[in-house]
Amino acid sequence: MTLGQCRCGPEHLGAINEAIPGPTQLGSGCAFSCVDPAPAIKIDTGDVVSTVGYSTKRQVDAAVAAAKQAQIAWARTTVAERAGVLTAAVDAIAERSEEISRWITTETGKTIAESREEVIDVTLTIARASIEDARRFGGTNRPAWNESHKNRRTHTIYQPIGVAGFISPWNFPVEMVANCVGALMMGNACVWKPSEWAPFGPQLLVEAFTSAGLPQGLTNLIYGGPETGELLVTHPDVGFLAFIGSTAVGELGGNGPLIVLDDADVDAAVDAAVASCFYMAGQVCTSAERILVHSAVHDEFVQKLTARAAALTVGDPLDESTELGPVSEKRILAKIVAHVDDARDKGATITTGGGTSGQFHEATVLTGVTRDMRIHQEETFGPFAPIVKVDSAAQALTLANDADYGLSMAVFTSSLTTAYEMSEGLQPSTPGRTIGSWQARSAGIRKAESAASSEPMRCAPLPTSRPLASPCCDRSASGLTLSALAGGYRS
């Protein structure tokens, strides 16, 4: 069921359909137009590519009610039955992956390669893994904990919470469906509010679910901005929430440091900086927002990163050769320009980039960045590599922690001891230990050839578990696996 409407072009904004729980529910609220950030590469006013009607409170209530009703029968199905339906649903998404990817690029400005990565490498991979995890996810039967309980056993079962709410961001508009799959596999129903800035990709995914035979009312789509999100978050029948959002929503933003020490592999560090600073034009919460480089390797690092940034191909995000697309919104571009002006006024040097054309911003490298600059203290959310020269690991650690929020971090060093000391001393919310050829990517710490890594969890359903009424309730498994975190259950 879709509450709210999304169709290609404003002329398709249709009539209101109030049938509950029918397959489609059109929003009767005010219309919101999504603008292509890169029409014909020259951005003036932008072209409207999709229009949505915001869901009303009545329609949000109806979506939750339909999900609550459908969940009762769904929870009684076997894991094998759910896996069969959801595998077909994921296969249906895979068949439409190119169509979905092109819509993501059209609405967000991500390069087509980045959109395909979101759909195929991330969403489909995690969705399939969630299905397989749930096949093996069962209860426990533990012996007594102490002498007084020697004749008892602790038996843990897992039950679905009920209705799961999902709020997805514009920059990763369909990734959340992987979490929906986990929730559905655990016997829950879903109500999903995609970003009003990128609504059409999620609708294509829900259409694929419907075509695969997912029961009616089990997965519902609502449209709207913060007001709609608040209706979902505060709804008494929504048992838990998964989201990716702004500081106001609760993710805390991102201003993570990438640290390059004097014994680092400079080429590997440059590779990581390019990926982390310029992936999706830097519009990712886990991008490297500050690069702290030891003075012993500073000049080499700056020279190599400047050359790589200047060589990036900027252009139409639907063009296969494009490496850097546009900034998605004018308000983001205005913030980027303000941060550049502030840094330049306070003494920073631009070694490459700094210019704009429409909503495109050049890949930019800045040196001489200091802690009093906005680009150091705030999340710029653009294609920038702000470099701070440091003289020691201790100084890098102090500066890295000198921020109101972090979210992610990376350390490049050839010393295992230093890597652990730095990662344990850093205070971002999703630390990862990075050694030698380990590479920091915009989506977190990715595994390179010679090392392992720790992927940050991008969304946190609350609560992850609820105990049944039992004095011997065991909560030891409340969130250690993907399907548990993304799925929602009671233990």
181 vs 406, which has greater pLDDT? 181
Is the pLDDT assigned to residue 239 strictly greater than 60?
A: yes
Find the mean pLDDT for residues 333-338.
92
Give the pTM: 0.77
pLDDT at 447: 25
Token pair belonging to 217? 């009312």
- Distance from CA of residue 98 to its chain's centroid? 20
Q: What is the pLDDT of residue 331?
A: 87
Domains and CATH numbers, the chain: 2-244+461-487 (3.40.605.10), 256-446 (3.40.309.10)
pLDDT bin (cut points 50, 70, 90) of residue 34 is low
Task: Categorize the per-residue pLDDT at 411 as very low, low, confident or very high, splitting at 50, 70 and 90.
Answer: very high
Residue 439, pLDDT > 50, answer no
> Could you tell me the two tokens for 121?
């490498």
Q: Tens digit of pLDDT for each residue in 443-491?
A: 222 222 222 223 332 333 322 233 222 222 222 222 222 222 233 343 3
Query: Does residue 192 have a pLDDT over 70?
Result: yes
Give mean pLDDT, residues 206-232.
Answer: 92
Catalytic positions, please? 251, 285
Using a 10 angstrom Cβ sphere, with 0-12 exposed, 13-18 middle and 19 or more buried, the burial of residue 96 is middle
- 414-426: burial string, b at 16+ Cβ within 10 Å, e else: ebeebbebbbebb
Contact 339, 374 (CB under 8 A): yes
Burial 82-94, CB ≥16 within 10 A → b, else e: bbebbbebbebbb
Angle at 419 between CA 267 and CA 393, to 5 degrees: 80
Task: Provide φ and ψ at 191, rounded to 5°.
Answer: -125, 120
Question: For residue 318, what pLDDT is reported?
Answer: 94
Rounded percentage of the chain residues whose pLDDT exceeds 70: 75
Which residues neighbour 347 within 8 Å (Cβ) at sequence distance 6 or greater? 368, 370
Question: What was the pLDDT predicted at 85?
Answer: 96
Residues 6+ apart with CB under 8 A from 400: 257, 259, 290, 292, 406, 409, 426, 428
